[in-house]
Amino acid sequence: MQPAVMAHRGNSGVAPENTLAAFARAMETKAEWIELDVHLSADGEVVVMHDDTVDRCTNGSGAIAEMTLAEIKALDAGSWFGVEFAGEKVPTLAEVVALVGDRVRINVEIKSAADPMSSLKVVEVLKEGGVLEWSMVSSFGLEALVETRKHWPEGLLALITARAADLDVVIEHRLQWFNVGYWEVDEAVMRRAHGAGVKVMIWTMDDPARWKEFAGMGVDMVCTNVPHRMPV
């Protein structure tokens, strides 16, 4: 069985990451999932951006947690990537859900893991958009996943890590997915994960020549910046 493809921050190889343009282009590929990152704005809106500041991916500056949604929406999130994306806005999670619907599944990475409201609001947005059961919530912070489980006991939860040894944590906390750096995965890791009923997603693997290698190991999903290049 071939691994599923997850588009990292949308099709971020051809469009500015974590924008509606990137997610739209991901849906033009064979990606079954999109991955995105979220923070809460000062007024409690779930904003889609990787960094905790707007500095790298917009023409503005400042911490997302200290800016209102209106202030964030006033920024240009596309020109840094290319002139054809000038005027692209920072989306909310609700806007992404409205765009993709049930055409592709969503993996929401909670960045502000120490804020318990992040988990509650993410679950609320996914539920209101009708895609909760179709989605995944992931984080580098175990506390965010534990909090998410309170609001979504049956949910698909994934620990993100750069260490194969963290599979112990995944098994201990009965998480369904182990989202681990591709360089940490080998056949022994795959056997142990699958033996415990855990699925494995590798990140961020952008080399099409290695697709068969990871497929042969039984990797369940490949997260990539270039979903359009993967030989699915």
Residue 1 has pLDDT above 90, yes or no: no
pLDDT of residue 204: 98
Given pLDDT bands bounded at 50, 70 and 90, which one contains residue 118? Answer: very high
For residues 6-35, give the mean pLDDT. Answer: 98
- What per-residue confidence (pLDDT) applies to 213? 98
Average pLDDT over residues 45-54: 98
Query: pLDDT per residue over 67-83, tens digit each?
Result: 999 999 999 999 999 99
Return the CATH class of domain 4-229.
Answer: alpha beta
Least confident span in 107-121, 170-184, 206-220: 107-121
Which residues are known catalytic residues? 8, 50
Q: Mind listing the pLDDT tens digit for each residue in 154-187?
A: 999 999 999 999 999 999 999 999 999 999 999 9
Mean pLDDT of the chain: 97
Residue 115 pLDDT? 83
Own/partner pairs, 140-149, CB within 8 angstroms, 24+ separation: 140/113, 141/110, 141/113, 141/114, 142/169, 142/173, 143/113, 143/114, 144/110, 144/113, 144/118, 144/119, 145/173, 145/175, 146/173, 147/116, 147/118, 147/119, 147/120, 148/110, 148/119, 148/122, 148/123
DSSP reduced 3-state for 21: helix
